[in-house]
Amino acid sequence: MQRVIRFAIAALAALGGPAAAETLTVYTYDSFTSEWGPGPAVEQAFEADCGCDLEFVGVDDGVAILSRLRLEGARTRADIVLGLDMNLVAEARATGLLAPHGLDLSGLSVPLPADMLDELFVPYDWGYFAFVYDSELLPVPPASLRALVDDSDAEILIQDPRTSTPGLGLLLWLREVYGDEAAAAWHRLRPRIVTVTSGWSEAYGLFLEGEAPMVLSYTTSPAYHMISEGEDRYQAASFAEGHYLQVEVAAKVATTDQPDLADRFLAFVLSPGFQDVIPTTNWMYPVVTPAAGLPDAFAALVTPERALLMAPDTVAQSRGAWIDEWLVAMSR
């Protein structure tokens, strides 16, 4: 029996063994790596260029990338993290696990004040959070966040702010609009939240299955349906208070065993090989406009009158308390 157990343990250890050398491991969110996401095109283009193996490790969503990095600490296998956003950069910096990218970020088309760009984080795309609705199930969407909370009976699908950057974005969006009344607003909204998923893909999938007429996503999501499906049934609701801005960033992990490959990858992120596929695979605005311009469908999208964004330090200070408050408001 002992021999059997010893064999089993050895076999288990072998099954969980490390990956081969010359591999660049990128932690990112699931939808990035999916077959219709940017992952396959990015992998092909970068591998052709570097002669290495680019390995994506997909977790639920953006916030989970930071949690995972924290859990693993200096032992992490990640060489690059891709998919944090401005709401997480202060906390990510505080882990001390990230290294400077050494790239020149001036000249990128990102709607951010210049002082928010720094030596650790490389912005790679951006967009505005929005509720996307199915116009066949919901002909007249709410015209503001306040209307959604207090003056609508539409059911919605959202993501968990503890794992997902859209979920966290909505938490901050309600904060911006309601201030200290945010918890009460969540409590009023709660009965119409069909489910809280841990990642964007699952919520959006449930939305397309018809589980609810509205889902938390991006102003750019309808472009996917227009371009890939020739369908304008799905639209983003324009909210009067303005829309919360998301800028997604990538960074190099300080403990990487492939520093040169990691630098090369970050430079690649700002090159056409990466940027040109972003609009029609990640369905976000690229930070470097493609030579051929954006697809026509992007001109038809909702453009918010006001972009909302909190200072990263404010978010870092209060995220824990606001999430606790959200948990209480969402529980019975």
Partner 1 sequence: MNSRPTPGVLLPGAGAALALALLVGGALIGLLLAPEGAAAGRPWVDGYVLAVLRFTVWQALLSALLSVGLAVPVARALARRRRFAGRALLLRLLGLPMVVPTIVGVLGIVAIYGRSGLLNEGLGALGVAARLDVYGLSGILIAHVFFNMPFATRLLVQAWAGIPAESWRLASQLGMSGGQVFRLIEAPMLRQTAPGIAGLVFLLCFTSFSVVLVLGGGPPNATLEVAIYQALRFDFDVARVVVLATLQVAVCAVLVGAAGRLARPMPVDQTLAPPVERHDLAGVWSRALDAVAIAAAMAILALPLAAVAAAGLAGPVAAVLADGELWRAALRSLTVGLSAGLLAVALGWGLVSTSRELRARYYRRGAADRLELAGSLVLVVPPFVVGAGLFVLLRPVADVFAIGLILVVLVNALMGLPFVIRILGPPAAQVAERHLRLCDSLGIAGWHRLRLVDWPLLRRPAALALAVCSALAMGDLGVIALFGTPDTRTLPLLLYHRMGSYRMDEAAVTALVLLVLSLLLFVAIERGLGGDADD
Binding to partner 1 (CB under 8 A) within 67-86 occurs at 67, 70-72, 75
| Shortest Å, Cβ 191 to partner 1 | 9
Counting contacts by CB under 8 A, is residue 11 touching partner 1?
yes
Q: Provide the Cα torsion 84, 86, 87, 89; round to 10°.
A: 70
Q: Which range binds partner 1 by CB under 8 A, 61-69, 172-180, 244-252, 287-295?
A: 61-69
Q: Which range binds partner 1 by CB under 8 A, 58-66, 169-177, 222-230, 256-264?
A: 58-66
From the number of C-beta atoms within 10 Å of its C-beta (0-12, 13-18, 19+), residue 79 rates as buried
Q: What is the DSSP string of 55-117?
A: EEEEESSHHHHHHHHHHHGGG---SEEEEEETTTHHHHHHTT-EE------TT---SS-GGG-
3-state helix, strand, coil in the chain (%, to 5): 45, 20, 35
Counting contacts by CB under 8 A, is residue 209 touching partner 1?
yes
| Shortest Å, Cβ 298 to partner 1 | 24
Counting contacts by CB under 8 A, is residue 195 touching partner 1?
yes
**Spatial distance between the Cα atoms of 71 and 217, rounded to a whole number of angstroms:** 28
Query: Coil, strand, or helix at residue 54?
Result: strand
- Measured from the CB atom, the residue of 54 and 110 that comes closer to partner 1 is 54
The residue type of 72 is E
State which of residues 39, 141, 199, 279 lies at the interface with partner 1 (CB under 8 A). 199
Binding to partner 1 (CB under 8 A) within 121-160 occurs at 160
| Shortest Å, Cβ 107 to partner 1 | 35
| Shortest Å, Cβ 158 to partner 1 | 8
Counting contacts by CB under 8 A, is residue 4 touching partner 1?
yes
**Spatial distance between the Cα atoms of 116 and 86, rounded to a whole number of angstroms:** 9
CA distances from 48 to 52, 268, 290 (A): 8, 12, 21
| Shortest Å, Cβ 281 to partner 1 | 15
**Spatial distance between the Cα atoms of 202 and 211, rounded to a whole number of angstroms:** 11
| Shortest Å, Cβ 112 to partner 1 | 27
Counting contacts by CB under 8 A, is residue 332 touching partner 1?
yes
Residue 151 makes CB contacts below 8 A (sequence gap 6+) with 142
Counting contacts by CB under 8 A, is residue 12 touching partner 1?
yes
| Shortest Å, Cβ 271 to partner 1 | 27
State which of residues 26, 45, 63, 138 lies at the interface with partner 1 (CB under 8 A). 63
| Shortest Å, Cβ 272 to partner 1 | 28
By CB under 8 A, the count of residues binding partner 1 is 54
Angle between helix 182-189 and helix 165-178 axes, rounded to 10 deg? 120
Nearest to 167 by CA among 221, 109, 88, 241: 88
Structure letter (DSSP) for residue 37: S
Binding to partner 1 (CB under 8 A) within 20-49 occurs at 30-31, 34
Alpha carbons within 13 A on the beta-carbon side of 216: 29
| Shortest Å, Cβ 297 to partner 1 | 23
- Measured from the CB atom, the residue of 57 and 117 that comes closer to partner 1 is 57
Sites of contact with partner 1 (CB under 8 A): 1, 4-5, 8-9, 11-13, 15-19, 30-31, 34, 57-58, 60, 63-64, 67, 70-72, 75, 160, 162-163, 190, 193-199, 201-202, 204-206, 209-211, 320, 323-324, 326-328, 330-332
